[in-house]
Amino acid sequence: MINTLICDRLASELGLGTADLGLLGSIYFLILTGSQIPMGMLLDRFGPRRVQGALLLLAAAGAALFGLSNGFLSLLIARAVIAFGTAASLMSGLKTVVLWFPRERVALINGCMIMLGALGAVTATAPAEALLNWIGWRGLFEVLAASSASAAASIYFLVPEHEATAKRPGTVSLKTVYTDGRFWRIAPISSTCIGSAWALQSLWAASWLSDVEGLDRTSLVTQLLAMAIALSIGALLLSVVADSLRRHGKNIETLLSIVAAVFIAAELALILHPPFPSLPSWIVVAVVGSAIVLSYAIIGDYFPAQLIARANGVLNVLHFGWAFLVQYGTGLILEQWPVKDGHYPSIAYQTAFSMNVVLQLVALVWFIAPWFKELNWKSEIAVKRKSTGQSRSVHVMIPSAEMVILETDHDVEW
């Protein structure tokens, strides 16, 4: 999230353009995209303590290099090293939750974990702004390097090892994930919405607020702080709701579809820019970034425990990949319009955001289409029953739209 605050300083000090800033921010997501599946395999094999402890040292080295950089190429390399060093951070937390907590409470504990992790977004607003004014962006990254190294040591030496980690995991195949129809039903809506929310909040929200809303620096940082707090609280609230729905036998997928629809509506409000404050729309964008707790809860119901890290890794490939495309693509689209008084026109943002919304609508229709088929089937049965004039009660078993028939795979332990 830190690029949101320092992009203006980098642009003025090092002469970076909008496309450069877009690539500098999005390279983080590109590296995460390429490393999610290998990280999932490492986590399943060696456990989160050793993997996370080692990788955070790389993140510390990347932060130190970023603070010493004097050109775009060195900044890009440093940013990539930071990304690789934090590539397993999210999944290591998810894997730890699976190892240490009952499966029926995974959704709630994941939400608590992501809520705490999202506090990093909070520190990347007003607290980071105070440090920037005090020690500059280079000094800030040296602080990040030291804190990351400290976290790596704490994880490696203090976190206990779970006994399941010492055992060699059963032979499982990613084919189980890639050939599951349920996965490809949820993947488009999850990636286009959550990935877009990450891309917007971590870079383009600040630019939009400055160029379109005309906010000064203080008001901008305050609104970014509100968004970061919403991201953190949203993870907890969504996990509590998901946990409650699960305990009452309700479908979490319905909640995900509602969140996606509200997200699309919020983006349309930003595009149309009606004469009322944009903060509620940006709050929705931030909360949707935390809706990943719902996706993980749904994925957790699809696959066995020993495949969870890899299944989450496959889904994260799409999340981070889409975030990369949106963040870099938005920068490229904005550069098609001339800058006036240091700001891009509203039409540039409207064009970039609109292209994203269209794809999200398609993904939402794909996600809910099986429900309409099921409702249509039930309606046809009701009409046929009514036409026969029979009054006796008949129980009809309707196969769930999410159910699939899996061929026997002797290489997979369930």
* Mean pLDDT calculated for residue range 123-129: 91
Gap between the Cα atoms of 240 and 258, Å rounded: 16
Gap between the Cα atoms of 82 and 58, Å rounded: 7
- Choose among 208, 219, 151, 188: nearest CA to 315: 188
Whether the predicted pLDDT of 104 surpasses 80 = no
Element (H, E) at 142: helix 126-158
Instruction: Report pLDDT for 248.
Output: 83
Is 19 exposed, middle or buried, given 0-12, 13-18 or 19+ CB atoms closer than 10 A? middle
At 411, the pLDDT band (50, 70, 90 cuts) reads: very low
Enter the tokens of residue 201.
């909040």
Instruction: Report pLDDT for 400.
Output: 46
Per-residue pLDDT of 157-211, as tens digits, reads 998 887 765 555 455 567 778 888 889 999 999 999 999 999 999 889 999 999 9
Instruction: Report pLDDT for 385.
Output: 65
| Three-state SS at 392 | coil
CA 287 to chain centre: 11
For residues 326 and 205, is the Cβ–Cβ distance under 8 A? Answer: no
| Three-state SS at 340 | strand
Matching residue, tokens 């440090």: 131
At 409, the pLDDT band (50, 70, 90 cuts) reads: very low
CA 80 to chain centre: 18
For residues 191 and 36, is the Cβ–Cβ distance under 8 A? Answer: no
Instruction: Report pLDDT for 357.
Output: 97
Whether the predicted pLDDT of 402 surpasses 50 = no
Angle between helix 279-289 and 217-247 (nearest 10): 50
At 144, the pLDDT band (50, 70, 90 cuts) reads: very high
* Mean pLDDT calculated for residue range 229-254: 89
